[in-house]
């Protein structure tokens, strides 16, 4: 039997009715954490850095400036739970009556789809950005897992994987049911992207799980080497910067292709500074570095973003950046800029 939901949704758009908001189809909703006020620390950067920005990513320049300004009493929306009935999950897309929610890029397209044979109920904690980027999975989706766990039946469409991801799932006590294409008799989703006090508390819980029973030896800082991993952001003098941080500041360099999750946690968990090219590999540092530590990102001029600041805000860390010269395909960050930014970071410490 085939479902006509894609045709129904397409007809709505053709008739000018628009696509229904997925969360509007919920049969029940509840507040997990009310709206509250939290302190957002200002970002740290040299006074001339704005002049180096050629292009921004995931938001315009006003968004970057607002994030770097911080807010001593930012009003954060509530964390919400939503209950749905009669939902199909097919080809990475949740289909409800008149609404769709994409969790993965579709592999197929068509006016109908076969109804899934399997039916179940569960709480889904994954997101589009978490399925796309490792850092968002570790620092966003793994926080939402704690909500799904409390709801009783965590499920995910992500297959079992090895490496860092498998180890983090073990350290965080994550044991979801892994699903293919299914029909949900009942589905629970969460609106959990706001850094309110409840989300911040879950971040500290996940850090405590990562660092449990580890004998940490204090480090001045760690440099997490990106190299050619992930989406291209080629820092041409990355090796030179890592070496100077080791020699002049006593840093330790970590490599995502050489060090496992435990080694990353033991180093970053003992550090007050995590430095590296802006990207998902820095999530290894954010999840383990203590509250009050600082993440320093080195960014190409044509791809400046404060995406990671939204995450350090949740982990109650500070955020700093240096904008280099060149493009994501090849750029440089001068040592003097880094040295002076490290001075600003030291001056801002309580």
- Exposure b/e, 74-83, CB count within 10 A at least 16 = b: eebeebbbbb
190 vs 21, 32, 125, 196, 315, CA distance in Å? 14, 9, 7, 14, 19
* Residue-wise DSSP of 7-67: HHHHHHHHTT--PBPGGGG-SEEEEEE--EEEEEPPPB--TTGGGG---BSSS-HHHHHHH
* Residue-wise DSSP of 226-261: -TT-SS---BTTHHHHHHHHHHHH--EEEETTT--H
Q: How many CB atoms lie within 10 A of CB 274?
A: 27
Domain spans in the chain, listed from the N-terminal domain onward: 2-30+79-193, 39-74+217-348
What pLDDT is recorded for position 10?
Answer: 54
39-74+217-348 CATH fold? Rossmann fold (3.40.50)
Task: Return the structure tokens found at 27.
Answer: 């049969």
Question: How far, in Å, CA of 129 to CA of 131, rounded?
Answer: 5
pLDDT digits (tens, 9 = 90+) for 114-161: 788 889 999 999 999 999 999 999 999 999 999 999 998 999 999 999
Does the pTM of the predicted model rise above 0.85? Answer: yes
What pLDDT is recorded for position 114?
Answer: 77
Mean pLDDT per block of 10 residues along the chain (350 residues) reads 51 52 95 95 96 95 96 96 95 89 82 79 96 96 98 94 95 96 96 95 98 95 88 92 98 96 97 96 97 97 96 97 96 97 92
Q: How many CB atoms lie within 10 A of CB 182?
A: 20
Measured N-to-C along each axis, helices 335-348 and 238-249 cross at an angle, to the nearest 10 degrees, of: 50
What pLDDT is recorded for position 115?
Answer: 80
Question: How far, in Å, CA of 324 to CA of 321, rounded?
Answer: 10
pLDDT digits (tens, 9 = 90+) for 286-338: 999 999 999 999 999 999 999 999 999 999 999 999 999 999 999 999 999 99
pLDDT digits (tens, 9 = 90+) for 319-331: 999 999 999 999 9
């Amino acid at each position: 039997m085939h479902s006509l939901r894609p045709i129904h949704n397409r007809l709505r758009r053709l008739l000018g009715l628009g696509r229904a908001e997925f969360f509007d189809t919920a049969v029940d909703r509840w507040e997990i954490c009310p709206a509250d006020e939290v302190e957002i620390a200002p970002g740290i950067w040299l006074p001339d850095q704005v002049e180096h920005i050629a292009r921004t990513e995931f938001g315009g320049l006003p968004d970057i400036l607002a994030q770097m300004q911080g807010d001593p009493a930012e009003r954060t929306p509530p964390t919400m739970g939503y209950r749905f009935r009669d939902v199909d999950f097919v080809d990475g897309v949740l289909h409800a009556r008149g609404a769709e929610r994409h969790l993965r890029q579709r592999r197929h397209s068509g006016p109908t789809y076969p109804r899934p044979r399997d039916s179940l109920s569960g709480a889904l904690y994954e997101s589009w950005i978490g399925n796309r980027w490792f850092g968002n999975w570790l620092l966003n989706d793994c926080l939402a897992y704690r909500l799904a766990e409390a709801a009783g039946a965590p499920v995910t469409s992500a297959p079992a994987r090895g490496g860092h991801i498998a180890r983090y799932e073990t350290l965080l006590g994550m044991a979801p049911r892994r699903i293919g294409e299914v029909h949900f008799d009942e589905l629970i989703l969460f609106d959990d992207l706001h850094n309110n006090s409840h989300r911040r508390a879950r971040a500290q819980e996940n850090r405590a799980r990562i660092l449990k029973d580890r004998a940490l030896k204090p480090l001045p800082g760690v440099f997490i080497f990106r190299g050619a991993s992930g989406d291209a952001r080629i820092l041409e003098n990355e090796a030179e910067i890592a070496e100077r941080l080791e020699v002049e500041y006593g840093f330790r360099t970590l490599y995502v292709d050489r060090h496992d999750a435990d080694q990353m946690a033991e180093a970053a968990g003992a550090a007050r500074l995590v430095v590296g090219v802006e990207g998902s590999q820095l999530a290894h540092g954010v999840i383990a570095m203590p509250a009050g530590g600082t993440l320093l990102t080195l960014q190409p001029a044509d791809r400046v973003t404060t995406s990671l600041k939204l995450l350090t805000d949740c982990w109650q860390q500070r955020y700093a950046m240096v904008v280099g010269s060149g493009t994501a395909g090849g750029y440089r960050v001068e040592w003097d800029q880094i040295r002076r930014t490290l001075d600003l970071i030291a001056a801002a410490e309580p």
